[in-house]
Amino acid sequence: MCLAVPGKIVSVNTLNPDMRMAKVSFGGIIKEICVQWLPEAGVGDYILAHVGMALNKLDEEEARLSLEAFEEMDRLLKEEDEKENNAD
């Protein structure tokens, strides 16, 4: 099982035609992601990334729903940790 994370493209570097790269924001954290296999992806688009590679393009609603799901999982994990820490 793998985890792919949605992010928003903030810039695209086309200097190297053999390896098209983009700076992608993941909740404010900027990472360099290969977008070589998504020639239609550009600034402002949302992509789904796994281990430095863009897997596919998402619309904004799909990205928002995925990010909300991650936030909910994080909230639930923190609640669980608090319960375990208070049980000690």
Higher-pLDDT residue of 51 and 70 is: 51
What is the predicted pLDDT for the residue at 47?
A: 97
pTM, two decimals, is 0.82
Measured distance CA(55)–CA(50) in Å, rounded: 7
Q: Which domains does the chain have, with CATH numbers?
A: 5-87 (2.30.30.140)
Q: Say if residue 79 is exposed, middle or buried (CB neighbours under 10 Å; 0-12, 13-18, 19+).
A: exposed
What is the predicted pLDDT for the residue at 83?
A: 86
What is the predicted pLDDT for the residue at 33?
A: 97
Query: Tens of pLDDT along 11-32?
Result: 999 888 889 999 999 989 999 9
Question: Is the confidence at residue 45, as pLDDT, over 80?
Answer: yes
Q: Phi and psi for 29 in degrees, rounded to 5?
A: -90, 120
Q: Phi and psi for 87 in degrees, rounded to 5?
A: -75, -20
- Give which of 11, 8, 44, 46 is closest to 29, Cα–Cα: 8
What is the predicted pLDDT for the residue at 85?
A: 87
